[in-house]
Amino acid sequence: MEHYLIHNTLNYPILSVLIIVPLLGAGVTFFLKGDQAVKSWGLLVTLITAALSVPLFTNWDFATSRYQFAEVTEWFPFLNLNYVVGVDGISVLLVLLTTFVMPLCVLCSWSYIKDRFKEFILVTLLMEASMIGVFISLNTVLFFIFWEAMLVPMYLLIAVWGGERKDYASIKFFLYTLLGSIFLLVSIVALYIKTGTFFIPELMAQNYSFSFQMWIFLSFTLAFAIKIPMFPFHTWLPAAHVEAPVAGSVILASILLKMGGYGFLRFCLPMAPAATVYCVPYLIFFSVVSIVVGGYLALGQSDIKKLIAYSSVGHMGFVTLGIFLLSDDGIKGAMMQMLNHGVTTGALFILVGIIYERTHSREIDKNSALGMMMPIYVTFLVIFSLASFGFPGTNGFIGEFLVLLSAFKTSKVVGAFAILGAILAAAYMLRLVQKMVWADSDGHGHHDDHGDDHGHGEKEHHALYDLNLREIGTLAFLTVFVFVIGLHPKPFLDVMDASVTQLLEQVSEGLKHVPAGGDHGGGHHAALREMGQQIREWIAMR
Amino acid sequence: MSLFLPELALTSMALVFFFLSLGKPRSSLLQGSALGLSALVLVITFHSFSLVLGQPAQLLFFDAYRIDIFSQMFKIVFALGLFIVIYLGQGLKGVVEELKAEYYMFLSLSTLGLVFLSSSVELLTIVISLEISSFSLYVIIPFRFQKGYRQQMEAGIKYVMFGALATGISLYGMSYMFGFAHTTYLAELAPVFPELIKTQPLMVVALILVLGSFFYKLAMFPMHFWAPDVYEGASNETAGFIATLPKVGAVALLLRFASFAGVELNQITGILATFAVLSMVIGNLSALVQEDLKRLLAYSSIAHAGYVMVAILCVSALGFASAIYYIVGYLIMNLACFFVIYHVSRTGENVTMNDLKGLYKNSPLLALTLVLGAFGMAGIPPTVGFMGKFFIFTSAIEKSLYALVIITVINAGISAYYYLRMVRAAFLTSEEEVSVIPLNPAARLLGVLFIAAIIGIGIFPEAFMNLAKMAAGTIL
């Protein structure tokens, strides 16, 4: 076990602390009185967590693909189950993304959340602890515990503070994700029975038979495809996004969806390389469909939140596409896309929350022509919209560019469809910006209201005050990342470099040792034969 | 003698209440003595457990009664369950005023029956123990008191009828067993069983008939029909008892039978697996539409019986230990839910989904307990329910029971929906005014203990699992 890990040399157990601080913080909220105190406490805890996570970046060892800052404690020796945490180049950026987005979630809820603030902070902090837990666990059971534990606070976040159809959306979210994750549990157990370990790096180092790989690959993929979400499992996302409170949407978009991509990289590729290669055509197909369908559906939305939700489906399509192109650029592009989507889409949801607080509407038509009244707001809106469809110079460009590059190398057709998705993204984002910043060309919406009912228009004007300092601070922070990543992505790519190389080596190494199904052609038949044989064996056993 | 102490303690507890029932004791005296005596029983059971640790099994009463780690461990669970049920039902809101002493008496007698059950290794002893525990329950179901409510009578009758039927079936099966094997001792049955079940197909029928009355206790398909009506008709505290302790007893018995049937169980695994699957499916699908919480829990318990059966069907040390772990976790989670029901119901009436509305405002502690109980039963980590399912999956996949695992998985997914409904109801804001549910410090403490136990045993299953494995080892 030891040669996979580099033990933590900081003077505090950094990864455990990142879980424990939010948990303790959540415990303390029980005893706080008054909304103001609770809010400040929530902000303080998330900021402390963010500050404590900084050494992950500053003390990062760029040269190694081993798991850094690792901690090992015996937990349940009966099943060879240990508490093992550690981060590599793939997970560390996601941990940092989580710790940095969470304070913003508290900030953007400052006046958005009206009731039960105490519980809100409690749930948010529990959420933070479990999300960080997912990214740092190096043990499948620990991973699963955090993965599932996350469902409960997220469910409550939507169900308690959500919009009109919160019941429907929260239940759909819960059941969809739960269904996927129970299959995840089954394959975790199956892997354990096969190998006698829950330790993820050891599970990666094994060579499983092709049929076994197929089974675990399919059940892992189901769980992660639901989570990310990939077409045709995407329908829970718009519902959950639209009904969730602003912080819920931000968490969902910025962090939760990334767990799907993270899962693909951590489980599917290294543990089932042959099955991955076998399934690549289908997964690329579904990724491209996600990109195009997501973009196409976003084009037709009149609800801003729904539009961004569908755009997420498209963006996540780029992520899965990048992952399953199985190339260095592709995977790095997918990782960057995840990071960028976390920054940009999170910011877009914050922007929607801000305008919703003022106009109590998420309709594009009711929020048109804001340019005159809210200049700072629209500035941010334009920046993040450009970043969202990958305008050069912004962060979105880097990820999409890398993925597209790799896609064209692999197949011109795939590349062409992906480009189509990128064009669609520009189309719907520009349409959104055009309508929200300038007047609606059709003469509907805001100006109509203004003409018809002067008093009503007056009131709307009154409500439309520009951003306050808190909101500017929140968005400015994210803007910094838009340009830092956009103009100087090298440090971010360097962090993941060693781990991505290692991952690809694992995949190609894994393919060498699988007797059947490694190559196309005859391999497929052998693979199918083997699977058929396996199924027959199992039926005979029954 | 010292081995038999838990049974003696429970008997004396029943006797004390018998004498108390002759006079007109104050309610507080009754409750105090019930709590004190059951705590004493618990302590004595722990003591007797420590006596058997590391010792070989001892046989009493012409070898019909076996004292080993397995039995003593279950006795602790029973004593603990009795203690919690008495603690939870402070004041016995739903029981006729004049019958409270009798109520406690029958409660302890029923537990006594279960305690006998966990040690019985002879067919007739098993029947008698089963009957002791059942008859007491038949009596206390109609003890419910609520103005204008009469369904407890129907519930009582149903329980008696089904119980009688189950015992009859079981005795019929035993007669075959005796006919073939010429013995009623499990220890003597075990060596001849593998041969018999191969040569005599009727032996399979006999075994399943015998298991029938255990299924009745466990509320497992096809003997599950009584559960919803009985839960609904019985008072909340009684239902809490019926929902948990007899099921633990049934699991203890099933484990004993599975262990002596051993590998040969494989021949009837198909039938039992079908029962388990049907239990899960019927329980979960019916629970989806229930409005009355106790009915919902009844159907959910039918489903849980199916999950436990999967673990028992593994016939391995890990499988048995998982079954023990799961049923004890289920006892805690279910009692946590009944604790909430008992307090939400102000005068002992039944609680519906609607009554849960605003619970979060009325009593945050109860709401939190309910959330943990519900999510625990749904199998969400880091609760004891999750670990239980995890162990069951592990043991079932180890034995290559893939189809069963997949069906269990899908069922766990379905069940999440109705547990979520409970949580959602508890967290919905009530339209009406906030009416705080008063909880005294003792009840608060119990709530906190439930929460701590559900999470604590879930995160640190090691100690408990080791005990369960040790217990499973003594019977395998």
Number of structural domains found in chain B: 1
Asked if residues A40 and A56 have their Cβ atoms less than 8 Å apart, the reply is: no
Q: Which of A307, A293, A448 is nearest to A364 (CA)?
A: A307
From CA A98, how far away is CA A85, in angstroms rounded? Answer: 16
B460/A531: higher pLDDT: B460
From CA B143, how far away is CA B131, in angstroms rounded? Answer: 19
The predicted model gives A171-181 an average pLDDT of: 85
Q: Which of A251, A27, A343 is nearest to B368 (CA)?
A: A27
How many CB atoms sit inside 10 A of residue B156's CB?
A: 21
Domain that includes residue B369, residue range: 2-475
DSSP 8-state class, residue A62: T
Position A440 scores a pLDDT of 54
CA dihedral sign of residues A426, A432, A437, A443:
positive
Q: Is A533 a residue whose pLDDT tops 70?
A: no
From CA A355, how far away is CA A353, in angstroms rounded? Answer: 6
Q: Is B172 a residue whose pLDDT tops 70?
A: yes
How many CB atoms sit inside 10 A of residue A35's CB?
A: 17
DSSP 8-state class, residue B76: H
Q: Is A78 a residue whose pLDDT tops 80?
A: no
Adjacency order of strands within the sheet including A5-7: A5-7, A67-76, A81-87
Residue A311, CB half-sphere, CA atoms under 13 Å: how many? 35
For chain B, the C-alpha Rg in angstroms (whole number) is 21
- The two three-digit tokens of residue A49, written as one number: 């967590």
The SS3 call for residue A316 is: helix
Please state the domain extents for chain A: 2-541
Looking at this predicted complex, what is its ipTM? 0.77
Position B2 scores a pLDDT of 74
List, in sequence order, the alpha helices (H) in A137-199: 140-149, 151-161, 166-195
Distance to chain B for A111, nearest Cα, Å: 20
The predicted model gives A368-376 an average pLDDT of: 80
Q: Considering only the beta carbons, identify the residue of A77, A149, A192 that sits closest to B380.
A: A149
DSSP 8-state class, residue A72: E
* DSSP labels, A203-218: HHT----HHHHHHHHH
A264/B150: higher pLDDT: A264
Asked if residues B422 and A211 have their Cβ atoms less than 8 Å apart, the reply is: no
Q: What is the pLDDT of residues B34-60, one digit of tens each?
A: 889 989 999 998 888 888 887 778 888
Q: Considering only the beta carbons, identify the residue of B270, B390, B469 that sits closest to A185.
A: B390
* DSSP labels, A409-449: HH-HHHHHHHHHHHHHHHHHHHHHHHHHHS--TTS-THHHH
Q: Which of A335, A334, A322, A201 is nearest to A271 (CA)?
A: A201
Establish if B406 touches chain A: CB-CB under 8 angstroms.
yes
Q: Considering only the beta carbons, identify the residue of B394, B400, B420 that sits closest to A171.
A: B420
Position A540 scores a pLDDT of 47
One-letter amino acid of B4: F
H or E element at residue B66:
strand B65-67
Residue whose pair of structure tokens reads 């599975």 in the numeric block: B258
Establish if B461 touches chain A: CB-CB under 8 angstroms.
yes
Most confident range (mean pLDDT) of A370-374, B208-212, B379-383 is B208-212
- Which residues fall within 8 angstroms of residue A21, CB to CB, at 6 or more apart? A45, A48, A49, A52
Q: Phi and psi dihedrals of B315, rounded to 5?
A: 45, 50
Q: Is A262 a residue whose pLDDT tops 80?
A: yes
Position B460 scores a pLDDT of 85
Asked if residues A406 and A451 have their Cβ atoms less than 8 Å apart, the reply is: no
Position B429 scores a pLDDT of 65
From CA B207, how far away is CA B213, in angstroms rounded? Answer: 11
Asked if residues A320 and A228 have their Cβ atoms less than 8 Å apart, the reply is: yes
Q: Which residues pair with A139 in a beta bridge?
A: A199
Q: Is A483 a residue whose pLDDT tops 50?
A: yes
Question: Confidence class of residue B373 from pLDDT cuts 50, 70 and 90?
Answer: very high
Q: Do B382 and A141 touch (CB under 8 A)?
A: no
Question: Confidence class of residue A447 from pLDDT cuts 50, 70 and 90?
Answer: very low
Asked if residues B60 and B80 have their Cβ atoms less than 8 Å apart, the reply is: no
Q: List, as ranges, residues 277-336 from A with C-beta within 8 Å of B.
A: none
Residue whose pair of structure tokens reads 């209440």 in the numeric block: B17
Position B264 scores a pLDDT of 58
Q: What is the pLDDT of residues A393-426, one digit of tens each?
A: 888 888 888 898 888 888 888 888 888 888 888 8
Q: Do A183 and B409 touch (CB under 8 A)?
A: yes
Distance to chain B for A55, nearest Cα, Å: 29
Position B186 scores a pLDDT of 84
- The two three-digit tokens of residue A456, written as one number: 């009503």
Q: Considering only the beta carbons, identify the residue of B375, B397, B427 that sits closest to A189.
A: B397
Q: Is B12 a residue whose pLDDT tops 50?
A: yes
Among chain B residues, CA nearest to A30: B364
Q: What is the pLDDT of residues A82-141, one digit of tens each?
A: 888 889 888 999 999 999 999 998 888 888 887 788 888 888 999 999 999 999 999 898
Asked if residues B330 and B376 have their Cβ atoms less than 8 Å apart, the reply is: no
- Which residues fall within 8 angstroms of residue B388, CB to CB, at 6 or more apart? B307, B322, B325, B326, B329, B330, B379
Position A444 scores a pLDDT of 46
From CA B82, how far away is CA B91, in angstroms rounded? Answer: 15
Q: Is A534 a residue whose pLDDT tops 70?
A: no
Q: Do B402 and A159 touch (CB under 8 A)?
A: no
Q: Do A175 and B405 touch (CB under 8 A)?
A: no
Question: Confidence class of residue A463 from pLDDT cuts 50, 70 and 90?
Answer: low
Establish if A149 touches chain B: CB-CB under 8 angstroms.
yes
Establish if B386 touches chain A: CB-CB under 8 angstroms.
yes
Q: Do B416 and A174 touch (CB under 8 A)?
A: yes
The predicted model gives B96-103 an average pLDDT of: 83
Establish if A144 touches chain B: CB-CB under 8 angstroms.
yes
Count of A–B CB contacts within 8 Å? 75
Asked if residues B251 and B308 have their Cβ atoms less than 8 Å apart, the reply is: yes
Residue B276, CB half-sphere, CA atoms under 13 Å: how many? 22
Q: Do A186 and B375 touch (CB under 8 A)?
A: no
- The two three-digit tokens of residue A443, written as one number: 């003469």
Mean of all residue pLDDT scores within chain A: 83
Strands A5-7 and B65-67: unpaired
Q: What is the pLDDT of residues B210-221, one digit of tens each?
A: 888 889 888 888
The predicted model gives B402-411 an average pLDDT of: 86
Question: Confidence class of residue A541 from pLDDT cuts 50, 70 and 90?
Answer: very low
Establish if B153 touches chain A: CB-CB under 8 angstroms.
no
* DSSP labels, A114-128: -S-HHHHHHHHHHHH
Q: Do B424 and A192 touch (CB under 8 A)?
A: no
Share of chain A above pLDDT 70, in %: 90
Question: Confidence class of residue B265 from pLDDT cuts 50, 70 and 90?
Answer: low
B148/A404: higher pLDDT: A404
- Chain B residues with CB under 8 Å of A146 CB are 381
The whole-model pTM stands at 0.83
- Chain A residues with CB under 8 Å of B270 CB are 542
Position B324 scores a pLDDT of 92
Position B413 scores a pLDDT of 83
Q: Is A361 a residue whose pLDDT tops 50?
A: yes
Burial of B440 (0-12, 13-18, 19+ CB in 10 A): exposed
Question: What's the Cα-to-Cα distance from A101 to each of A285, A318, A478, A481, A523, rounded to whole Å?
Answer: 32, 22, 9, 12, 45
Mean of all residue pLDDT scores within chain B: 86
Burial of A360 (0-12, 13-18, 19+ CB in 10 A): exposed
Establish if A185 touches chain B: CB-CB under 8 angstroms.
yes
Position B197 scores a pLDDT of 78
- Chain B residues with CB under 8 Å of A145 CB are 381-382, 386
A520/B246: higher pLDDT: B246
- Chain A residues with CB under 8 Å of B368 CB are none
Q: Phi and psi dihedrals of B212, rounded to 5?
A: -50, -45
One-letter amino acid of B80: L
One-letter amino acid of A358: R
Establish if B412 touches chain A: CB-CB under 8 angstroms.
yes
Q: Is B336 a residue whose pLDDT tops 90?
A: yes
From CA A177, how far away is CA A157, in angstroms rounded? Answer: 15
Question: Confidence class of residue B298 from pLDDT cuts 50, 70 and 90?
Answer: very high
List, in sequence order, the alpha helices (H) in A196-264: 200-204, 210-227, 236-243, 246-251, 257-263
Residue whose pair of structure tokens reads 């593994």 in the numeric block: B314
Question: What's the Cα-to-Cα distance from B325 to each of A185, B247, B251, B388, rounded to whole Å?
Answer: 19, 13, 11, 6
